[in-house]
Every structure is written in C-alpha cells, then in structure tokens.
Chains A and B, each alone.
Chain A
Amino acid sequence: DTGVSQDPRHKITKRGQNVTFRCDPISEHNRLYWYRQTLGQGPEFLTYFQNEAQLEKSRLLSDRFSAERPKGSFSTLEIQRTEQGDSAMYLCASSSGQGSYEQYFGPGTRLTVT
C-alpha cells in the first residue's frame, strides 16, 4: 500500500495521560499536514510541515500538542495531559507540492479520552 498510513487506528486513554500518533506520508511527498475532525464536522487544520520544517500551526494547537517530522519523512503528533475535549479523529495528509495541490489523507487515528 503506497498511501498515507497512520498508527494506531484507535486509541483509548484516560484523562491526563500522554498519547503519540504516527503518520507515514506517501513516499517522496515533502508536504505533510495534520487535521482534527470531530463528529459531524469537516476536518480542521492543525499544522503543516514542508520536509522537516514546521511552517504553520493553528491556534487549535495548544501548548499540550506538539508535532515533529525529524527526517522529513514520517511525523508524530503528541498530546500531553489529554482532556476529554481532545477526543476526535486525527487525520494526516500529504502532498507532493510540485504543481499539485492535492492532499491525500490517511485513515486517521480515532482518539477517545475517558
């Protein structure tokens, strides 16, 4: 499968715990995005990487959230001290950035904070 992959697909955690999600973009895509989606809503932009550089962060990304893309390939999104309001689907997307604006989405990680 050469699409965007995310791990884990589902995560249940207790309030206050830390969680980390991983995204593997399509090979050679230099642009990587994280979005958050709650039930009944469209995805909301969280942050964007071009190669290893994090170039934009949404105001939705509080200090408890941190994202990295250390080698310009896979990315991780960590949420510290989770809150029930963090429960959502976390989606990763990638694009080639070469004359194409298409973003290809992964299957998402469904986070449930109890």
Chain B
Amino acid sequence: GESVGLHLPTLSVQEGDNSIINCAYSNSASDYFIWYKQESGKGPQFIIDIRSNMDKRQGQRVTVLLNKTVKHLSLQIAATQPGDSAVYFCAENLGGYNKLIFGAGTRLAVHP
C-alpha cells in the first residue's frame, strides 16, 4: 500500500525507550504549534499543541518543548510503543484563520 513519508528522515528506537522528534519552524510570528501523527493511508491525528507564550506542555506520555529563540520545536514520547510507529509532523499557525503550515515530517520506527 501507499506509504506516507516515503523519503522522510527516520528515527529508529527500541520499544520502551524515549523518543525525541525535532522540528524547525519558519516564522517567528507564529503563535501556535501542533504535533500530528500520521499512519499510512490515514489523515493526521492530533497529538499535542502549545501556544507561543509557553515553552513546555505535557500530555499523556508526550511532551512538547518550544524554543522561540531558535525557532525549534520538539516532541518527546516516553516509553515508546510499537503503536507509536508513524510519521510525525509539526505544524505552525501564522495567526488569523489558523491556517496551518506543516513541516517536512519524521518517520518514527519502533522496534521490539
């Protein structure tokens, strides 16, 4: 079947390890950021978001860190599981109508 992220950078981790996926965003005026997970043949699934007035936000097993100085976003996944295998995209909102600008994506491969 089709494969999302055919030529994307890949992060390979062992099941149970922590994963860190990084993203550089483009616009210093962006005020909102989201991480999405996309499995092959499916639409992007919301994971976690963060507003520009924060530098860290935690969810269940996931943490997003925002460094506005260097325009960098990271997603940390604790105790990575095989079900976490997917392509992960960061997206930024330039304000206004909340149009999202997506980054290039990273494939996460979790090995048992």
B78-94, CB < 8 A from A: 89, 91, 93
B34 at the interface (CB under 8 A from A): yes
CB contact between A42 and one of B3, B6, B45, B91 (< 8 Å): that residue: B91
Inter-chain contact B49/A102, CB cutoff 8 Å: yes
> Interface size of A by Cβ–Cβ distance < 8 Å?
28
| CB–CB B49/A39 < 8 A | no
User: Does A82 sit at the interface, judged by CB under 8 A?
Assistant: no
**B100–A110 touching, CB < 8 Å:** no
Are A39 and B98 touching (Cβ within 8 A)? no
Residues in A neighbouring B99, C-beta threshold 8 A: 33, 45, 48, 56
Per-residue contact bits, chain A 52-65, to B (CB 8 Å; 1 contact, 0 not): 00011000000000
Known: A91-B44, A101-B93, A102-B34. A40 touches B98 (CB 8 A): no
Q: How near does chain A come to B20, taking the closest CB pair, in angstroms?
A: 19
| A104 to B100 Cα, complex, angstroms | 12
Say how far B27's CB is from chain A's closest CB, in angstroms: 14
CB contacts (< 8 Å) of B34 on chain A: these are 101-103
> Closest Cβ of chain A: how far from B85's Cβ, in Å?
17
Task: Give the complex CA separation of A110 and B2 in angstroms.
Answer: 10
Neighbour of A101 across the interface among B5, B43, B98, CB < 8 A: B98
Assess the B97–A50 pair: CB atoms within 8 A. yes
